[in-house]
Amino acid sequence: MPNHPTLASVAADLDAGRTTARKLVEECLAKIADPAGEGARAFIHVDKDAAIAAADAMDHLRKANAAPSPYAGIPVSIKDLFDIKGQVTRAGSRALEDSAPAEADAPVVARLRRAGFIVIGRTNMTEFAYSGIGINPHYGTPKSVFNRGVGHVPGGSSSGAAVSIADRMAHGALGTDTGGSCRIPAAYNGIVGYKPTQRRVPLDGGVPLSSSLDSFGPLARSVGCCAVLDAVLADEAVQPLQPRAVKGMRLAVPTTIALDDLDDEVAKTFERALATLSRQGASIERIEVPEFHDVGVMNSKGGFAAAESYAWHRYLLTSKGDVYDPRVRVRILRGESISAADYIDIVGARRAFIARTEKRIAPYDALVLPTTSNTPPVIADLADDQAFARQNLRSLRNCTLINMLDGCAISLPAHREGDMPVGLMLAAAGGSDRRIFELAAGMEDIIRV
C-alpha cells in the first residue's frame, strides 16, 4: 500500500527512537475509536488497557536492549476465531457468548506475543468463518476500504482483519483461510493476504471450520510483512526476503474454471498485470488444468466444509441454532446428509486430485490467477439470498482450488491507486511457501504499473 508503514519501516522507527510502542498503540486505538471510521464494526473487542500495558513493557525492554525481536511493540489484530487467554472466543457468533473464557492463548497468538507483537483486539468475521463475503448480522459489517460512501463488502471470513490493516488500526493481522478467508478480504481491501501450507502452522486454539482445509495466515500491507508474520506463526526464523527477478519467472495461467465469469474490471486488471510481467521478462503460459473440474464434484454435497463443520456444530445447533446467521446455519446443515461413505470418497478423491495436479503444475514456478472472479459487491445488493449465494461462490471459487490442492498462495493488489480493488493470486503446491514469497516480492511493485 503506497505511503503506508510496513513492519520493516515501523521496526526501523522503533530501533531509531523515532517512535515508541506506546505511541503506535495509541495511534491504532485512536483509529479504532474514530466515530467516522469502521472500528466499531471491524472489532468485536478492543484490548485497550492490556495493549497499553504491553506497549509500556516493550518500550522498557527496548531501552534495556532486551526487546524479544525487532518487531516488539508493534500492534496486531487477532481474528475472533482464536483463543486469547481470559477472553471468550465467539467466532463472530452469538451462540458462543456464554462460553468460558479461554484458559490459554492459541499457539499462533502465543508465538506473536513471544516475538513482542501487541494484541490490539479481536476482529469481526463472518460467523464461524463460513462465507467469503464478510457480512455479519450480529456485530455489523465493516465496509471495504473502497468507496465507503456506497458500502462494499469487506470480504470474508477475515473481514475485520483486512479492514484493520487497510485503515491502520493494526500493522498486521492474524486470519484464517479455509477457502480464501485471508486472500479474499485482502483482495477486496487492496492489501496482501497469505494462505500457508496447512501443516506449517498449528491449528490448535482456533474454532474449526474444516480440519482438512483450515490454515492460519497473515494479512498485512506488503509481501515482506506477510513473510515476517508467516515465519513467526510457523515458529521459523525470520529470514531476509530476497525478491525473485521477474525476468525468467515461469508462470502458468490456468484457463480451466479460474478465468470463467470474471467481472470486467477483474479481467482487465488481471490481463494488464500479465502483460506487464511479460514485458519484464516473465514466461507466461496459459494451460488447461482439467483436474480443477474435480473440485466441483468433491464439493457437490457441501464437501469437507459442510461435513466437518456439521460434526463440530451438531449439538450446538440443537440448543442454539435459532441464534445462528440463517445463511451460515443452512450451509452447515448440508453436512447432515453427507454419509461416512460420501466423506471417505471425498478424502480419496482429494488425494488423487492433489497428486495429479501437483504433477501438472510442477514445471512452473507458480500458478497466477485472479484471487476472486468478482470485485467487492455492494452490501445493499446482497439482501436477496440468491444474490448473496451467487456472489459468495464467485468470491470463493478460485481460492478454494488452492485449499483443495493443499497448496500455498498469496493475494497481491493488482489495481491502480483509486481503482476498484482487484487481487492477483500466486499459488503453488504445498511446501513452496518460500518460493511464493520470493516471487511475490519480485512483482508486487510491478504489477500495478
User: Would you please indicate which residues are annotated as catalytic (active-site) residues?
Assistant: 79, 157, 181
SS3 211: coil
Instruction: Answer whether 120's CB lies under 8 Å from 32's CB.
Output: yes
> In DSSP terms, which residues pair with 286 in a beta bridge?
253
How is residue 263 written as a grid cell? 467481472
Q: In Å, what is the CA distance from 60 to each residue of 57, 63, 119, 170, 343?
A: 5, 5, 18, 21, 54
Instruction: Answer whether 142's CB lies under 8 Å from 42's CB.
Output: yes
Q: In Å, what is the CA distance from 273 to each residue of 270, 289, 398, 415, 416?
A: 5, 21, 17, 9, 10
DSSP letter (8 states) at residue 101: P
Alpha helices in 96-250 (DSSP H): 107-114, 159-166, 183-189, 223-233
- Quick one: which of 422, 368, 417, 419 has its CA closest to 395? 422
Q: In Å, what is the CA distance from 175 to each residue of 110, 132, 206?
A: 15, 13, 10
Instruction: Answer whether 133's CB lies under 8 Å from 382's CB.
Output: yes
Burial letters 355-387, b for 16+ CB under 10 A, else e: eebbebbeebbbbbbbbbbbbbbebeebeeeee
d(CA 49, CA 35): 20
How is residue 223 written as a grid cell? 509481501
Instruction: Answer whether 177's CB lies under 8 Å from 276's CB.
Output: no
- Quick one: which of 440, 401, 12 has its CA closest to 226? 440
C-alpha 367: how far from chain center = 18
d(CA 70, CA 11): 6
